[in-house]
Amino acid sequence: MKIDILTLFPEMFEGFKNESIIKRAIEEKKVEINTCNFRDFAKNKHKKVDDTPYGGGAGMVLMCQPIFDAAESLKKENSKIILLTPQGKTYNQKMAYELSKEEHLILICGHYEGFDERIRSICDEEISIGDYVLTGGEIPAMVLTDSVTRLLPGVIDEESHQKDSFNDNLLDYPTYTKPRNYKGMKVPEVLLSGDHKKIDDWRRNEQLKVTSEKRPDLLNNKVSLKKQGIKENKRKIYLDDVKNIKVKEIKNKKTGIYKVFKDDAISAITILNPKKITGYKLKGKSKDDKLTKILIVKPSFISKIAMKNVRKKIDILTYRFNLALSQDDDDATGRVLGEAEMLKSMIISTYANYLGMENLDKIIKNINYLVSEFVKNKTLQNSFFTSEKKEQRTR
């Protein structure tokens, strides 16, 4: 693949092209990345590439002629010209895969207040990397170039990018390395089991859980839901105490009984028309005859239970802080501070959906306050002990 980048600041790309995977891909001739300063194509005496906008307004606007001529000098039969602009389609992993199949990309980096509208006429596609404004298109060009280059055959292990975040509209599963236990934070036992099926199932379930908590919008995507065997008008709710159970509101017209069945693919409860589910008991049996009934409750009730559980955990943490203050033990101090960080992470990952952002923010602030008070008291305590020991030595 060949990528040509039209920019007023080619020096910005020197470090980008000479580090890490991009450098290796260039050296191994997997990709050719060139920068072209379109100021070189300006025909006026001072090599000017911008001018004031017709109709008035703030800032300067990029002119047609230098960009048209620069693009024309690079364009071939198989070229795809992309304009990097906030008005373009929002970039995602699917687009990266599609662009990685092209033979030649020409990226136009905007700058200043904007560009002459007629420049759009030479472009095949317009792309934005997000709903915010940058000083120019150079950083978006690097983002696009990096994301496409890593997908080219032979640049990285194919398995690496097949399991990337956003494949199948899911975020990546958690990963761990040595040591097994760091400050009380342990690697999940399933990853140490050697059972690859269990590990694969755990990773898939974690992908669904993480995506549900952090990016539920991805799970609302029609393609994603279809791949997971879930109809478009359904929603997933994750509960800690329910594993590998999928509940479908399928009502038998004659008997009025709802069916419940086990689904190994998803650690979720899937319900139809969630607004109507306000405390119904769904009776049935799973394939292994272990499930007899399940109760779907109001979200407000779940929120109350979540808050109650969180308060209990904070009370336990407070008790351990007080215990550590009564001990002259650095290990105990390290452990309890580690527990505080773990508790914050657990609350964010497990209870965020049920507590609401306002409650979650108050809880995290509360824990941070407890930590700061503990550290302050521990510091005062240590200084007291140090001065007392010095006094004893002088006697």
The CATH number of residue 218's host domain is 1.10.1270.20
Same domain, 7 and 153: yes
How many Å apart are CA 325 and CA 374, to the nearest integer?
8
Q: Give the 3-state secondary structure of residue 346.
A: helix
Same domain, 12 and 100: yes
Domain boundary among 159, 193, 209: 159
Q: Residue 175 class from Cβ within 10 Å (0-12 exposed, 13-18 middle, 19+ buried)?
A: exposed
Whether 264 sits among the annotated catalytic residues: the reply is no
Domain boundary among 297, 329, 349: 297
Same domain, 197 and 120: no
Whether 66 sits among the annotated catalytic residues: the reply is no
How many Å apart are CA 25 and CA 53, to the nearest integer?
41
Catalytic residue among 69, 146, 164, 168: 164
Rg, Å, the chain Cα set: 29
How many Å apart are CA 201 and CA 342, to the nearest integer?
24
How many Å apart are CA 212 and CA 174, to the nearest integer?
14
User: Would you tell me how many other CB atoms lie within 10 Å of the CB of residue 21?
Assistant: 13
Catalytic residue among 50, 66, 138, 150: 150
Same domain, 274 and 259: yes
Same domain, 10 and 139: yes
Whether 10 sits among the annotated catalytic residues: the reply is no
How many Å apart are CA 179 and CA 329, to the nearest integer?
23
Q: Give the 3-state secondary structure of residue 86.
A: strand
User: Would you tell me how many other CB atoms lie within 10 Å of the CB of residue 230?
Assistant: 20
Rounded to a whole number, what is the distance in angstroms from the first to the last CA of the chain? 80
How many Å apart are CA 327 and CA 66, to the nearest integer?
73
Domain boundary among 277, 297, 317: 297
Same domain, 22 and 119: yes
Q: What is the DSSP letter of 4?
A: E
Catalytic residue among 113, 168, 172, 341: 113
When pLDDT is averaged across residues 221-240 and rounded to a whole number, the result is: 40
When pLDDT is averaged across residues 96-109 and rounded to a whole number, the result is: 96
Catalytic residue among 39, 53, 69, 86: 86
Q: What is the DSSP string of 378-394?
A: HHHHHHHHHHHHHHHHH
Same domain, 110 and 23: yes
Q: Quick one: pLDDT at residue 103?
A: 96
Q: Is the pTM for the entire model greater than 0.75?
A: no
How many Å apart are CA 317 and CA 294, to the nearest integer?
33
| Residues 325 and 378: beta-carbon distance below 8 Å | yes
Same domain, 212 and 288: no
Q: Quick one: pLDDT at residue 359?
A: 84
Instruction: Give the model confidence (pLDDT) of 352-388 as tens digits.
Output: 777 777 888 889 888 888 888 888 887 766 555 455 5
Same domain, 25 and 139: yes
When pLDDT is averaged across residues 289-302 and rounded to a whole number, the result is: 54
State how many domains the chain has.
4
Whether 118 sits among the annotated catalytic residues: the reply is no
Structural domain boundaries enclosing 27: 2-159
Same domain, 64 and 152: yes
How many Å apart are CA 115 and CA 62, to the nearest integer?
4
| Residues 154 and 112: beta-carbon distance below 8 Å | no
Instruction: Give the residue, 160 or 113, on which the prediction is more confident.
Output: 113
Same domain, 260 and 207: no
Same domain, 14 and 97: yes
Q: What is the CATH number of the domain that holds 118?
A: 3.40.1280.10
